[in-house]
Amino acid sequence: MYECPNCGGNLKFDIPSQQLACAHCGTHLDPYAVKKETDATEQDYFEATVFTCPQCAGEIFSTDNEAAAFCSFCGASTILTSRISREKRPKFIIPFKKTKEDCKNAYAQTMRRAFFVPKELKDPKYIDGFRGIYMPYWTYQLTQKGRVTLSGEKTYRRGDYVITDHYDLSGDLDAYYLGYSYDASSSFYDNISEALAPYDAKELVNFTPAFLSGFYADTADIGEEVYRQDAIELANDSTLDRISKDKAFSGYHINSSKGGSRLGTKLRSADNTMYPVWFLSYRNGDRIAYATVNGQTGKVVADMPISPIRYLFASLVMAVPIYLLLNLFFTIRPPVLMGIACVLALVSGILYIMEMNAIGRRAVYEDDRAVEIMRRKKHGQAAEQKRTAKKKSSSKKKNKLGKPTISFLILILYIICYGQLIMDLANLFLWPVILIAMVVCLIVGICRYKKVEDVKGLFGFIFATAAVLISGLIRLFHPVSDIPYYIGAILTLLADTFIFVDIIRNYNKLAMRRLPQFDKQGGDDRA
């Protein structure tokens, strides 16, 4: 604790004033002016109280000695055990800029648009549980300096020939990068830390433990070598993009695959840095969801579990008026209704397989390199020296999905415009395609189901396949009466409902995470 020189009260960092403030006498002091003997600038370590959760073994530390009543990592309501420790001093820190009230307001604003989340996530008492935690990051400084020669191309058409001219593009390069940062905690999932970015490196200040007073900090357990190559590749991409926009090189296509290695990128330093995060956990059974707010910008990133009952009820409420509206303009014959139900079964099956694939990747931490490395270390395996680059952000994935979606819509319009001929061919080939695709989905679904733990939906999958086969037989015999078509449609729609409900129930396995005690040394698996 840092004591007030006037009254002896506990000094805590005050976000609005960016100074240490005493709640008893109102004294404000510069964080750099208040020090202990253990905080001397020549020391590489500082004294802190380390709080350890007895259930998940998660650790956070602070200069205060007051432990909170719950663990941020596993959500357990417990008294954290504490001990005094000498912690490695970070080089830089970005102090909290957003107050707890700012954080709560930003989170509440986000939750207003989340119609299907459990009501507990909107409870003011729950929202009041946000805790300010400084998360450890590795901040890389890189330089590129000297004479550079890159490969450039210009392509043009001359008559029936396409001609490509190759050039050597030379110039003097002098570039410096500061602020490429990656989280250094295995407790902080990569997809959360990436979504919280960016932080403005211009607000980095020299670290002093006084900034931690009144807050907590997570311990760094990931080495800087894990993300070193990522930072180098990011600097190379940024430089090549800047060069390609330069007037002297406009019109040339620069070969980026060879250009990065020619830039002479050097790692100047990798500094241990602390960034501010407002942190909150929500626990439901053996799963946990995190809500985080960037303590500098106020950006909100939150896991969004859903309440299946709320989701299904809202779907029913929305479906009734849509059905009544469509019923005024369209009349769907029983064979067509049965065909639509079978197509929906196929689409639901494909979505279910995609969901199980995503759950499987989450279970083995394919989307989080740091957690996977710690997990390998725990099991006595050597950490991998080289890994593929981090998954691209969700925004880039959305851009990639844009063109296939547009092409799909154009194809639909194309089919509609060709009218009856296409429809006759569809009636001839549609059912065999649906039947074959559904059987393939069943086989793939069973294989995926066996590889993923604790997921639901195999019964619905088998039921849907059987319903589609029955509908196919009905379509093959082509009865005059409408009753068999109604039976096939009802069976298939019922199977669709089973799969859809299982998709919703399994969704929370993607929106929430396993309790961290299963992956931390010393954690209690029975917690």
Tens of pLDDT, residues 166-201: 888 888 889 988 888 888 887 788 888 888 988 988
- What residues pair up with 492 in beta bridges, in sequence order? none
Q: Give the helix ranges, DSSP H, for 96-219.
A: 100-111, 124-127, 190-196
Tens of pLDDT, residues 73-91: 777 766 667 767 777 788 8
Tens of pLDDT, residues 336-392: 788 888 888 888 888 888 888 887 777 666 666 666 665 555 555 443 444 444 444
Confidence of residue 1 (pLDDT cuts 50, 70, 90): low
C-alpha 386/C-alpha 224 separation (Å) is 13
CA angle 141, 143, 147 (to 5 degrees): 175
Tens of pLDDT, residues 138-175: 999 999 988 888 888 888 888 888 888 888 888 888 99
C-alpha 299/C-alpha 128 separation (Å) is 17
Residue 294 pLDDT > 90, yes or no?
Answer: yes
Residue 314 pLDDT > 70, yes or no?
Answer: yes
How high is the pLDDT of residue 260? 57
Q: How far is CA 50 from CA 19, 143, 465, in A?
A: 24, 37, 55
Nearest in space to 212 (alpha carbons), one of 56, 38, 42, 6: 38
Q: Where are the domains of the chain?
A: 2-94, 127-305, 308-511
Tens of pLDDT, residues 380-406: 544 344 444 444 444 344 444 344 555
Query: Tell me, what amino acid is at 312?
Result: L
Tokens of residue 64, six digits? 């205060």
Whole-number percent of the chain with pLDDT over 70: 78
- What residues pair up with 166 in beta bridges, in sequence order? 153
Phi then psi for residue 525, to 5 deg, are -65, -20
How high is the pLDDT of residue 430? 66
Who contacts 438 (Cβ-Cβ below 8 Å, separation ≥6)?
A: 342, 345, 346, 349, 464, 465, 468, 469
Q: Residue with structure tokens 């009254």? A: 7
Q: Please tell me whether the peptide bond between 198 and the residue prior to it is cis, using omega within 30 degrees of 0.
A: yes
What is the reported pTM?
Answer: 0.73
C-alpha 207/C-alpha 482 separation (Å) is 77
The mean of the pLDDT values for the chain is 77
Tens of pLDDT, residues 205-240: 998 888 888 888 888 888 888 888 888 888 888 888
Confidence of residue 298 (pLDDT cuts 50, 70, 90): very high
